[in-house]
Amino acid sequence: MPKVFLRTYGCQMNERDSEQVSRMLIERGYEMTSSEKEADVVLLNTCSVRDMAEQKALGKMGLLRRLRANKPEMVFGLLGCMAQSRGAELVRDMEHVDLVVGTQKFHKVAEYVDELVKRKRALREQLMDDVRFSIVDVEEESGSQETIREHVLAERQVTAFVSIMQGCNMHCTFCIVPATRGAERSRRIEEIVSEVRGLVERGVKEVTLLGQIVNLFGRHEFSANEGKSPFVQLLEAVHAVDGLERLRFTSPHPIGFRADLVRAFAELPRLMPHVHFPMQSGSNRILKAMHRAYTAEKYFSLIEQLRAARPDIALTTDIIVGFPGETDDDYVATRDLYERIEFDNAFVFRYSKRRDTPAAEMPDQVEESVKEVRNQDLLRVVDALARKKGEALVGQRVQILCEGVSKTNAERLMGRSPGNKVVNFEGSARHVGQVFDVAITRSSGFSLFGDPALL
């Protein structure tokens, strides 16, 4: 039984794609392994959003080449966004790479792996290890958004991601995603609801709907109904699934946040009060250069509307510092808006050039040293506000869904609050999958801790 080592880089959508690949490989008789040394097949599912993610994947694949010395029939493959972007050049530049599969062909990976394994074994038997062949498939495929629907669930897994769409039409000037993921295309609501229902039947209590710009779901395929966008119609349909206790989604775009979606947070009790809401910059000049299609004022107004609809809502965001042409004043506008909103947390990124994007060719590229200063300065603000938010919960009772053992301490269990804050506590197996209150005794800033005596 061939063993497969699969590592994923990047976002939740990549994790979801890897889960699909794993399921299809298992169905063909392969065994997944966490040890690359034990593997007969090595697959890296890649990310292209930032240069660092690409370099990590390329560096890892380069190091793995040494494994072929003792196992010449090994199969090495690169999947996902970087595979889509670079295609055949990956096979050309890395001679040990056998397989390159783009973002619309994850459902073909198991078939291609099968073919490569069989051909390599045949050549091995013929003492022809020096013969090289490869498979590269980065072509578009109509209907590929419907192919990411199978799940591999761990024992007692209570949360799951559900892909509802692929692609992006926004063309932000810093972003390579429209090139790697293609144009927006959405699944049918009934198919998504059926998938969620199946997950709930298998013990899942919480689902997170995934899309590159999730709240633009269905805008090209479906019509509004009684003033409700296709995305809000989907939220209502999933919310109605019997047995589902929690519903989340990520990541939205401000232009898709209209009154019906804001109201949904007040009207759908199982829709959790947390929004990861990318801001990117607080400078209108930079937002325009980024092609973000909103102003800082519009963004702040949406925050106010969300907090009016759901006062307990938690807000997290993405911010890019050092975008081409960003001045000190532009950066200060970003920091000021962040402090004014008082986000719960943020991912802060230094701008990095992505090839074939407009921003990469813009004048006034910011020096790396300046990016680093702004990055560290903003991280101090992010950390201070996160600690403030965490400390405000000490002494309160917070409802959590217990997901299982803590990733940082095997002696503890962990769960998430409605606002998506991690809560660690001492408990037993009976707590896994249950929703209950925990008394918060202390905060580390990014994690909370509960008193087991009060469970």
Q: Of 391, 426, 441, at which residue does a domain stop?
A: 391
* 203 and 93 share one domain: no
**Do 165 and 118 share a structural domain?**
no
**Location of structure tokens 């024992």:** 155
349: helix, coil or strand?
Answer: strand
Residue with tokens 């938690």: 314
| Residues 33, 113 share a domain | yes
Crossing angle for the helix pair 328-341 and 296-309, to the nearest 10 degrees: 10
Domain co-membership, 373 together with 406: no
Encode pLDDT of 353-398 as tens digits.
998 899 999 999 999 999 999 999 999 999 999 999 999 999 999 9
Q: Reply yes or no on whether the pLDDT at 217 is more than 50.
A: yes
pTM of the full structure? 0.91
**Average pLDDT, rounded, for the chain:** 93
181 and 282 assigned to the same domain: yes
Residues 266 and 212 in one domain: yes
Question: Among 112-126, 183-197, 247-261, 365-379, which is the least confidently predicted range?
Answer: 112-126
Q: Which backbone phi and psi does 15 adopt, to 5 degrees? A: -60, -40
pLDDT digit string, tens, across residues 183-207: 999 999 999 999 999 999 999 999 9
Residues 434 and 223: their CA atoms lie apart, in Å, by 37
Whether 447 shows a pLDDT value over 70: the answer reads yes
420 and 385 in one domain? no
Report residue 272 as tokens. Answer: 């959790």
pLDDT digits (tens, 9 = 90+) for 282-328: 999 999 999 999 999 999 999 999 999 999 999 999 999 999 999 99
For the CA atoms of 263, 312, 209, 233, the dihedral, rounded to the nearest 10 degrees, stands at -10
Do 183 and 224 have their domain in common? Answer: yes
Overall number of domains in the chain: 3
For the ranges 195-204, 317-326, 342-351, 439-448, the lowest mean pLDDT is seen at: 439-448
Tell me, yes or no, whether 154 and 269 share the same domain.
Answer: yes
CATH of the domain at 235: 3.80.30.20
Any idea of the CA torsion for 354, 360, 366, 371, to the nearest 10 degrees?
A: -10
How confident is the model at residue 455, as a pLDDT? 47
Out of 110, 137, 164, a domain closes at 137
Instruction: Specify the pLDDT at position 207.
Output: 98
Range of the domain at 219: 144-391
CA 235/CA 213 separation, integer angstroms = 15
pLDDT at site 130: 58
Of the pLDDT bands very low, low, confident and very high (cuts 50, 70, 90), residue 144 is confident
Domain boundary residue, one of 77, 110, 137: 137
User: Residue-wise over 20-48: b if at least 16 C-beta within 10 A, else e?
Assistant: bbbbbbeeeebebbeebeebbbbbbbbbb
Look-up of token digits 């680093």: 372
d(CA 436, CA 399): 5
* Averaged pLDDT, 18-37: 94
How much of the chain exceeds pLDDT 90, in percent? 81
pLDDT band for 141, please (50, 70, 90 cuts).
Answer: confident
Q: What b/e readout covers 362-379, taking b as 16+ CB neighbours within 10 angstroms? A: eeebbeeebbeebbeebe
* pLDDT-above-70 percentage for the chain: 97
Least confident of 83-97, 123-137, 258-272, 402-416: 123-137
The domain that holds 63 is classified in CATH as 3.40.50.12160
pLDDT band at 120 (very low <50, low <70, confident <90, very high): confident
Q: Are both 323 and 213 inside the same structural domain?
A: yes
Find the range with the poorest average confidence among 108-112, 144-148, 402-406: 144-148
Q: Give the residue with greater pLDDT, 155 vs 403.
A: 403
> Do 236 and 279 fall within a single domain?
yes
Predicted confidence (pLDDT) at residue 132 exceeds the cutoff of 80: no
